[in-house]
Structure 1
Amino acid sequence: MSGRADSGTGRVIRPGAAVPGDDLQVFLKALTSGTRQKLFAHFADGEELTVGEVAERAGLGPSTTSEHLAVLRRGGLLQSTRSGKLVRYRADREGIAELLGQLHTYLLAPSAPEPEDIPPAHG
């Protein structure tokens, strides 16, 4: 299969491949960090945790932890609830399932033919 460079980035993409939607891109970006993957693991059992609790368990500073948790929340992996000054995070299982469905559809979508591959209509 021949590929084409993507907008000068040098990356080769499938011919005719659709670009993932913004939500899916943010989801995937949230997962690219090993630190965020380790932080997310603290929520695997369904537990709700504060920034301080996650920071203590992970051995990170509260500010760094808060930044990473915000990226995970924007990426659809975590939900947060505020009670006064306290923010509790938990895994967003429904959001994750939706985004994984989008990823599945994207990865298995058939490639559309490139415009130059379509023969011109004769008429």
Structure 2
Amino acid sequence: MEARADVDLDLALRALADGNRRAILQVIRSSPQPVGEIAEELGLSQQTTSHHLGVLRRAGLATGSRDGTRHLFVVDNDGLAAVRSYLDDFWPARLAGLKAAVESRQEARRG
């Protein structure tokens, strides 16, 4: 999975730090949703929801499109791929550390 180069990782991580924004991403992850339906599902005002969607869009984590008079929002998978790529870089080192700790414990038990 290749990360999009134009995603600002700092903005994306700050956006994901907010629980309301993560909840919005859950709502819009599978299909485009209008602001009103997102707000209703989460119990937020439309103004608050619009603010959070703006942050998610600027961070590259959501995208919007027009359907007549409705503005629909959906997760931008390429933006999430940039975050995932960054986080995936931590796993090999962590797994190597875990492996070393387990092997060290096993050796101490034997020895």
Question: What TM-score range do you get, normalising by the shorter chain?
Answer: 0.5 to 0.7
Q: Please state how far the C-alpha of 1:94 moved relative to its aligned partner.
A: 2.1
Q: Does 1:91 align with 2:75?
A: yes
Q: Please state how far the C-alpha of 1:41 moved relative to its aligned partner.
A: 1.2
**For 1:22 and 1:77, how far apart are their aligned partners in 2?**
9
Give the TM-score normalised by the residue count of structure 2.
Answer: 0.67
Q: Which residue of 2 aligns with 1:37?
A: 22
Q: Which residue of 2 aligns with 1:60?
A: 44
Q: Please state how far the C-alpha of 1:35 moved relative to its aligned partner.
A: 1.4
Gaps of 5+ in 2: 1-5, 92-111
More helix by share: 2
Q: Please state how far the C-alpha of 1:86 moved relative to its aligned partner.
A: 1.7
Q: Are the structure 2 counterparts of residues 27 and 61 from structure 1 closer, same or farther at C-alpha, using a change threshold of 3 Å?
A: same
Q: CA RMSD in A?
A: 2.5
Aligned length: 88
Q: Please state how far the C-alpha of 1:56 moved relative to its aligned partner.
A: 0.8
**For 2:13 and 2:81, how far apart are their aligned partners in 1?**
13
Q: Segments of 4+ in structure 1 off by > 4 A?
A: none
Gaps of 5+ in 1: 1-20, 109-123
Give the TM-score normalised by the residue count of structure 1.
Answer: 0.61
Q: Please state how far the C-alpha of 1:103 moved relative to its aligned partner.
A: 4.2
SS where residue 42 of structure 1 aligns?
Answer: helix
Task: For 2:27, give the aligned amino acid.
Answer: H
Relative contact order: is structure 1 or structure 2 higher (C-alpha 8 Å, sep ≥ 6)?
Answer: 2
Q: Percent identical across equivalent pairs? A: 36
Query: What pairs up with 1:1-123 in 2 under 5 angstroms?
Result: 23-44=8-29, 46-105=30-89, 107=90
